[in-house]
Amino acid sequence: MSELNDLYQSVILDHNRRPRNYGELAEADGKAEGRNSLCGDELTVWVKRDGGTIADVRFVGHGCAISKASASLMTQAVKGKPIDEAEQVFERFHALVTGRTKESEGLGSLAALGGVSRFPIRVKCASLAWHTLRRALGTDAVATDAPVSTE
Ligand code: ZN
């Protein structure tokens, strides 16, 4: 685990210990389950929409610190945001964790996960919550300029 030490920044540790928006969302209108079999991470994400806005989002799951912290950070990043804005955040976040860019402007606390780009196997851990969110929202089938990888 020593190679991962510098991934475990205080933000990640904090969100792993005290995940935000954790627990089932009773009045959800979207739900999806995600699994990263390479690491054993499992997440369930619930969303509630208000028109084109993500009114509420919650998750439960278990797995490594990266996957859990990423899910917690994801819920904070998209809650109350228009869905298309959340999609843009996902695109920027995905570019950062896959190493396509080092630009983390506008990503706030999500930038703490930028270090995973140096550990390809961890990219799936960091991306799992977002792919699961997009399935819950039904936006995973929407074509984007750059094809979304399977990570
Ligand atoms: Zn993991």
Domain at 56, CATH number: 3.90.1010.10
For the record, the structure tokens of 18 come out as 């005290």
Q: Do the domain assignments include residue 149?
A: no
> Mean pLDDT, consecutive 10-residue segments, the chain of 151 residues?
59 95 96 96 97 97 96 98 96 95 90 90 96 93 50 49
Domain with 40, as residue range(s), is: 2-137
pLDDT in tens, 65-93: 999 999 999 999 999 999 999 999 999 99
Q: What's the gap in Å between 84 CA and the centre of ligand 1?
A: 27
Q: Do the domain assignments include residue 148?
A: no
Q: Do the domain assignments include residue 146?
A: no
Buried b (16+ CB within 10 A) or exposed e, 109-145: ebbbbbbbbeeeebbbbbbbbbbbbbbbbebeeeeee
Q: Which of 69, 43, 67 is nearest to 136 (CA)?
A: 43
User: Total structural domains in the chain?
Assistant: 1
Q: Do the domain assignments include residue 147?
A: no
For the record, the structure tokens of 141 come out as 């089938």
Distance CA 93, CA 111 (A): 8
Question: What pTM was estimated for this model as a whole?
Answer: 0.88
Residue 59 has a pLDDT of: 98
Q: Do the domain assignments include residue 151?
A: no
Q: What's the gap in Å between 52 CA and the centre of ligand 1?
A: 31
Q: Do the domain assignments include residue 43?
A: yes
Residue 5 has a pLDDT of: 54
Q: What's the gap in Å between 50 CA and the centre of ligand 1?
A: 31
Q: Do the domain assignments include residue 99?
A: yes
47 SS3 class: strand
Residue 22 has a pLDDT of: 98
